[in-house]
């Protein structure tokens, strides 16, 4: 008996099992992060800061609106260009890193920095920087989205969608204009392009680089967005290329935060990343946004 066909079949089965097992482990970690006390399902508010004083709370005539059961006036944010300070309202207890915060400058998440996260009651909030704009992101671990979350449907994991792509690096500093759900454009650095084949046809995806993140970030759309997957596209991360190639594991394509909350500021697929292809892998449509 020739053992080679059997050994080949065992090798293929082992590869299939590896894709299935690793994808399921990745999906479990993804759901854990999403459902965490500070995960995207807890996002309940986003208010943009104008120059000068901005009142924040659940009352009338505030500039940054908190949920109805937050204090009527949580405090005031004062913006001066790219700098922000916060002053708690009288009688409102605010914490920073678990310690009482009596007011002062607060760090934003600009340039990939860790922002100062403040807490009042069960609500946490921090300042985000999006281009020249600054906003206050509010989270609530008791949010309806988190309580009612039922999981995310997915395509069955498949080795077909773990694809080795050829890497074409840029030869000079290159950027790409990336739109977002706010109707604004962000200019992001581009390190190169991944070239891959599905069913004998060539496709190209261009990633961007994020501050403080080593992996390549792909924001892409495909023909499943019309019916089975999130309409605004999906995200995918890949490790840096090695020896002229990299792996695109579409089994790990996932829904952006905007699929779960109207308060996220997601980037949208640039025109060169809109594939004339059905990528039947990764997460399917979930949420109601």
- Domains of the chain, earliest start first: 40-147 (2.60.200.20), 150-273 (no CATH)
Q: Tell me the pLDDT tens digit for each residue of 189-203.
A: 999 999 999 999 999
Contacts of 20 (CB under 8 A, 6+ apart): 157
What's the mean pLDDT when you consider all of the chain? 93
pTM equals 0.90
Q: For the segment 166-183, what is each residue's pLDDT rounded down to a tens digit? A: 999 999 999 999 999 989
Rounded CA separation 117/211 (Å): 19
pLDDT at residue 103 in the model: 98
Walk across the sheet containing 52-57 and list its strands.
64-65, 52-57, 75-80, 83-88, 104-106
How would you label 11-36 residue by residue, b for 16+ Cβ within 10 Å and e otherwise?
eeeeeeeebeeebeeebeebeeebbe
pLDDT digits (tens, 9 = 90+) for 245-278: 999 999 999 999 999 999 999 999 999 999 999 9
Judged by average pLDDT, the poorest of 19-23, 29-33, 92-96, 109-113 is 109-113
pLDDT in tens, 11-51: 444 567 799 999 999 999 999 999 999 999 999 999 999 99
């Amino acid at each position: 008996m020739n053992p080679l066909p059997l050994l080949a079949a065992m090798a293929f089965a082992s590869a299939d099992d590896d894709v299935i097992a690793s994808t399921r482990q990745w999906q479990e970690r993804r759901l854990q992060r999403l459902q965490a006390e500070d995960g995207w399902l807890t996002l309940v508010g986003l208010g943009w800061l104008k120059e000068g004083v901005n009142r924040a709370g659940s009352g009338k005539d505030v500039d940054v609106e908190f949920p109805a059961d937050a204090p009527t006036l949580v405090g005031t944010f004062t913006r001066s260009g790219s700098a922000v300070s916060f002053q708690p309202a009288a009688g409102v207890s605010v914490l920073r890193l678990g310690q009482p915060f009596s007011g002062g400058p607060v760090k934003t998440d600009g340039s990939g920095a860790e922002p100062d996260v403040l807490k009042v009651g069960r609500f946490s909030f921090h300042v985000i920087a999006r281009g020249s704009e600054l906003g206050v992101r509010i989270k609530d671990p008791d949010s309806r989205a988190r309580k009612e979350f039922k999981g995310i449907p997915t395509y069955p994991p498949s080795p077909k969608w773990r694809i080795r792509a050829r890497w074409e690096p840029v030869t000079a500093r290159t950027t790409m204009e990336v739109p977002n759900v706010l109707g604004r454009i962000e200019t992001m650095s581009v390190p190169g392009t991944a070239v891959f084949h599905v069913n004998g046809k060539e496709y190209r995806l261009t990633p961007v680089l994020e501050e403080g993140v080593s992996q390549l970030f792909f924001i892409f759309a495909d023909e499943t967005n019309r019916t089975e997957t999130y309409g605004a596209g999906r995200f995918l991360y890949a490790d840096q290329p090695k020896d002229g190639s990299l792996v695109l594991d579409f089994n790990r394509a996932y829904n952006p935060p905007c699929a779960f909350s109207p308060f996220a500021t997601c980037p949208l697929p640039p025109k060169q990343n809109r594939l004339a292809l059905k990528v039947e892998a990764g997460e399917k449509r979930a949420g109601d946004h």
